[in-house]
Amino acid sequence: MASEEMEQLVRREYKQGFVTDIESDTVPPGLDESVIAFISQKKEEPQWMLEWRLEAYRRWLEMTPPSWAHLEYPPIDYQAISYYSAPKKPEDRPQSLDEVDPKLLETYEKLGIPLHERAALAGVAVDAVFDSVSVTTTFKEKLHEAGVIFCSISEAIREYPELVRQYLGTVVPQSDNYFAALNSAVFTDGSFVYVPEGVTCPMELSTYFRINAANTGQFERTLIVCDKKAQVSYLEGCTAPQRDENQLHAAVVELVALEDAYIKYSTVQNWYPGDEDGKGGIYNFVTKRGDCRGDRSRISWTQVETGSAITWKYPSCLLRGKESIGEFYSVAVTNGRQQADTGTKMIHIGENTRSTIVAKGIAAGRSDQAYRGLVKIGPRAKGARNYTQCDSLLIGDQCGAHTFPYQEIGNSSATVEHEATTSKIADDQLFYCRARGIDEEDAVSMIVNGFCKDVFQELPMEFAVEAEALLNVTLEGSVG
C-alpha cells in the first residue's frame, strides 16, 4: 500500500471533538480526606461508605503507580485533578428527560445518540453518565417489573445499601492496585445492576460515559451482580470532547456471577486519543474484573478499543466455580501516538474451568500496542482448559506491536494453548482484491474487518454495527 495513503490514515481527525459548556459544581483541584468526605456527603452516603473510601485512600497513599506496562507518559499530578463535578446542583437535578439540560441532549445528538429515540427503538435502557452524576435513567419501570435493579451506584448505595455492601470491593479489593485504590477513594458515579435469581434481563443494558468538565478525572464504579441462573448483557460505550490537557480516567468494574449465571459485558471505547503529537488524549487506566463465583457461571468480556491516548486495561476473570467459563474478545486499534497496554487475566481455580482469549491488535501511525495476558492454572483446577489467540496487524513502519503472554500452570491435567502472530496486510491479499475491482481503501477495510471478525461476531448487534463503522472511520482517507 502506498505510504501517503497510510499517512492520511494516520492523520485522521477525531470526529467527535466538541465541548459542552455547562454549569459545574466542582471542588477545587486536590485530594485529601476532606475532599473524600465532601464527595461522600454530596452523595448522601452512609457512614460505612465514607469509612470504606477513607480506608482505600489511606492504602493509596502508601502505594506507587505501576511502572511495568509498556507505556510512556509523564508523572500524573494527582493534586491537580478536581475530584468532583456535577452538571447541576443536586437539589435541582432533572427528574425526567424533559428537564435535562438541552445542551446535554445536544451533546448526545452530536454524538449520534438520540437518547430517548434510540432507547425506545433499540429497547435499550440507558443510564447516561454525564461527568459524574447520573442525569437520567429510562426504562426503569420495565426493569422493575422483571425485578432487575439498574441504577447509578450512588443511588444503589442509598437505596440498596445491603446489596452494595455485600458485593462492593469483593472482586476488586480497595488495595488491588494503585488506580483501583484511587477509584475506591473518590469514585463519584457509575452503574449498579442486580439481576435476581432465575431472571433473564429483558433488555440489553447500556451506559454512555462522557467526560466533559475540564480537569475533571472521571472515576466510575460499576458493579454488576447476577444471581443464580440469571443473565444480563451490559453495553458500555464512550466518546469524549476534544481537550488539550490529559484527562485521567480510572474506572473500576466488578462483575459477580453466581451459580449458572451469565454476564456479557461489551465495550466500545472511542475517547479522545490526543492530537498528532499525542497531546491531550485521555489516560484510560481501568480495572475490570469478573468473578465466576458459582458453578457453571460464565463471564464474557468483549471490547473494541479505538480511543484514548493511553490504555491500561486488563479485563479479567476469576474462575472459581466448577465448570465456569471466562471469555475475552478484544480488538484494539491504535493510531497517531496512542499507546495501549491491554489484555486479560484468566485465573483458573475451580475444576474443569474453561477460558478463551481472542485478542486482535491493529497498530498504525506511530502508535505502540501491547497484549499482556496471564493464564494461571491453580493446583486444584483439574481439567482446566485455555485457548489463546492473539494476532497483531501492523500498518506502516513507525508503529510497534508487542505480545507478553504469561502462563503459570500448576496442574498436569490442564491444557493451555497460546498462539500469536504479527504481520502486515499482505501485498498478495491486496492484489487479490484489487484484481477483482475492489478499490484499495475498501480492500484494506475488508481485510481489517476480516481480521477482527472473530471478535465482532461476539458483540451485540448494535455494537457490532458501531464497531465496524468505527473501524471504517479509522481507515477513511486511505483511498488512493
Partner 1 sequence: MSAPERFLERLTARRAEDPSWVAARRQAGAARFEALGFPTRRDEEWKYTDVRRIAEGDFALATDPGYDASRFEAQRLDLDAHRLVLVDGVFSAELSTLGQLPAGVSVEPLSQALTRNHEAVGGALGRLAGVDFSPFTALNTAFAEEGAIIRLAPGTVVDKPIYVALLSRAGGQPVMSHPRILIEAGGRSEATVIEHYAGEPEAANFTNVVTEVLLDRGAIVNHYKLQEASLGDLHVASIHVDQGRDSRFNSFNLSLGGALVRNDLVTDLNAEGAEAAYNGLFFVQGRQHVDNHTLVNHNAPRTFSNENYKGVLDDRAHGVFNGKVFVKKDAQQIEAYQNNANLLLSDRAEIDTKPELVIYADDVKCSHGATTGQLDEEAVYALRARGIDEAMARALLTLAFAGEVMEQVKLSAIAERVERAVAGRLPERFNLSDLVETAEAVQEP
List 124, 232, 395, 433, residue binding partner 1 (CB under 8 A): 395
Minimum Å distance from CB 117 to partner 1? 43
Does 241 engage in binding with partner 1 (CB under 8 A)?
A: no
What sign has the CA pseudo-torsion 23, 249, 110, 222? negative
Give dist(CA 290, CA 293) in Å, integer. 9
Does 396 engage in binding with partner 1 (CB under 8 A)?
A: yes
The candidate with the shortest Cα–Cα distance to 156, out of 178, 127, 197, 116, is 127
Sole window of 49-57, 177-185, 213-221, 414-422 interacting with partner 1 (rule: CB under 8 A): 414-422
Query: Whose grid coordinates read 491500561?
Result: 312
Sole window of 218-226, 283-291, 322-330, 416-424 interacting with partner 1 (rule: CB under 8 A): 416-424
List 27, 214, 420, 438, residue binding partner 1 (CB under 8 A): 420
Give dist(CA 388, CA 326) in Å, integer. 12
Task: Report the residue number, 224 or 401, with the smaller CB distance to partner 1.
Answer: 401
DSSP string, 180-243: HHHHHHH--B-EEEEE-TTPBPSS-EEEEEE--STTB-B-BEEEEEE-TT-EEEEEEEEE----
Max CA separation in the chain (angstroms): 69
Q: Which three cell numbers stand for residue 406?
A: 504469561
Minimum Å distance from CB 343 to partner 1? 12
Minimum Å distance from CB 422 to partner 1? 4
Residues 65-84 that bind partner 1 (CB under 8 A): 68
Sole window of 105-113, 238-246, 281-289, 389-397 interacting with partner 1 (rule: CB under 8 A): 389-397
Does 415 engage in binding with partner 1 (CB under 8 A)?
A: yes
Task: Report the residue number, 8 or 231, with the smaller CB distance to partner 1.
Answer: 8
- 8 Å CB contact between 205 and 233: yes
Phi-psi region of 429 (alpha: psi -120 to 50; beta: other; left: phi over 0): alpha
Residue 99: CB atoms within 10 A of its CB come to 12
Residues 248-267 that bind partner 1 (CB under 8 A): none
Q: Which three cell numbers stand for residue 9?
A: 490514515
State the binding string over 424-453 for partner 1 (x if CB under 8 A, else -).
x-----------------------------
List 302, 403, 445, 478, residue binding partner 1 (CB under 8 A): 403
Give dist(CA 220, CA 272) in Å, integer. 18
Does 411 engage in binding with partner 1 (CB under 8 A)?
A: yes
Task: Report the residue number, 409 or 430, with the smaller CB distance to partner 1.
Answer: 409
Minimum Å distance from CB 419 to partner 1? 5
Amino acid sitting at position 36: I
Sole window of 106-114, 244-252, 401-409, 459-467 interacting with partner 1 (rule: CB under 8 A): 401-409
Cβ neighbors of 215 (< 8 A, separation 6 or more) are 29, 80, 81, 82, 245, 247
Does 42 engage in binding with partner 1 (CB under 8 A)?
A: no
Sole window of 249-257, 260-268, 309-317, 418-426 interacting with partner 1 (rule: CB under 8 A): 418-426
Does 480 engage in binding with partner 1 (CB under 8 A)?
A: no
Does 407 engage in binding with partner 1 (CB under 8 A)?
A: yes
Cα 440–chain centre separation: 32
First CA to last CA across the chain, in angstroms? 9
Angle (nearest 5°) at CA 275 between 272 and 276:
135
Sole window of 294-302, 323-331, 398-406, 471-479 interacting with partner 1 (rule: CB under 8 A): 398-406
Q: Which three cell numbers stand for residue 352?
A: 474443569
Minimum Å distance from CB 14 to partner 1? 24
Task: Report the residue number, 304 or 395, with the smaller CB distance to partner 1.
Answer: 395
**Strand ranges in 23-75 using DSSP code E only, listed in sequence order:** 25-26
List 76, 146, 409, 446, residue binding partner 1 (CB under 8 A): 409
Minimum Å distance from CB 357 to partner 1? 13
Give dist(CA 332, CA 269) in Å, integer. 9
For partner 1, the binding residues (CB under 8 A) are 68, 379, 392, 394-424
